[in-house]
Amino acid sequence: MAALILVKPDVDWQASSGLFDFAVEFLIPRMSDRAAADWMRTVVDNNLGSLWLTEFSAQTQREVFELWRAGLLEAAERSIPDSPGRASALAKLQELVDLTADASP
C-alpha cells in the first residue's frame, strides 16, 4: 500500500507504507511540538496513509525538515537490513530528504 507526505503545496512524496511509517516514526520521539508528534503517532497507528506537513505551523515544518536532513538517512542505514530492496529504500528516503532542502514553510 502506498502512502503520501505533502511536503509543501504541490510537492509530495509517495512511498510504501513501510517507508512512510519509518520516516514518520523517526520524527515522533524527536519533535518538540508534542501535539504534532501525537498526531503523527495517530497517523501511523491508524494506518491513515498520509501526512500533510502544511497543516503544521511553520516552526514545526522547519523542525521536521531539519530532523529529516540531520538524521533520517543515518537511521535508515542502521535499521534497514541488507537485502535486495535496501538500496531502493535508501534512495527513496533520500528523495524525501532532498525535497526538504528546497522546502520552506
Q: Give per-residue pLDDT as tens, 10-34.
A: 899 999 999 999 999 999 999 999 9
Instruction: Give me the domain span that covers residue 76.
Output: 2-101
β-strands 2-8, 50-52 pairing: parallel
Summarised one tens digit per residue, pLDDT across range 88-105 is 999 999 999 999 986 566
Q: What is the pLDDT of residue 63?
A: 97
Quickly count: other Cβ atoms within 10 Å of residue 32's Cβ. Answer: 10
Q: In what order do the strands lie in the sheet with 11-16?
A: 11-16, 2-8, 50-52
Summarised one tens digit per residue, pLDDT across range 37-92 is 999 999 999 999 999 999 999 999 999 999 999 999 999 999 999 999 999 999 99
Q: What is the pLDDT of residue 103?
A: 59
For the chain, the domain total comes to 1
Q: What is the pLDDT of residue 42?
A: 98
